[in-house]
């Protein structure tokens, strides 16, 4: 494969990753609403540990890199949920 072909395929994958990330964030928004309704904190440390463990195991030799990426994903998810919850509290 030539470099331009590799880059084109990476671009295709990036498009798919963004679509999946947007879907994930929509689910995070729903989780934020449920957590607010039932009185749970945004941060569920046990859940995050489970996710990081599962990601690391699935990534095999790329574990370190995958866990780094997912820590960022989880941080963005928490920040988004907090922002949504803060907005909901202002509406009340």
Question: Across the 92 residues of the chain, what is the mean pLDDT of every consecutive 10-residue run?
Answer: 97 98 97 95 95 98 98 97 84 50
> Any residues with CB less than 8 A from the CB of 63 and at least 6 apart, and which?
55, 56, 57
CATH of the domain at 70: 1.20.59.10
pTM over 0.85: yes
What confidence score (pLDDT) does residue 92 get?
46
Q: What is the pLDDT of residue 72?
A: 98
- Predicted confidence at residue 89, as pLDDT, reads 56
Domain count of the fold of the chain: 1
Domain that holds residue 49: 3-91
- What crossing angle do the helices spanning 63-91 and 3-38 adopt, rounded to 10°? 40
- pLDDT for res 90: 56
* Residue owning tokens 């996710």: 51
Per-residue pLDDT, 91: 54
């Amino acid at each position: 494969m030539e470099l331009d072909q590799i880059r084109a395929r990476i671009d295709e994958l990036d498009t798919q990753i963004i679509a999946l990330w947007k879907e994930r964030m929509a689910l995070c928004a729903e989780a934020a609403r449920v957590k607010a309704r039932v009185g749970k904190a945004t941060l569920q440390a046990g859940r995050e540990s489970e996710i990081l463990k599962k990601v690391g195991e699935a990534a095999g030799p790329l574990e370190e890199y995958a866990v780094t990426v997912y820590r960022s994903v989880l941080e963005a998810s928490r920040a988004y949920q907090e922002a949504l919850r803060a907005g909901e509290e202002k509406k009340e």
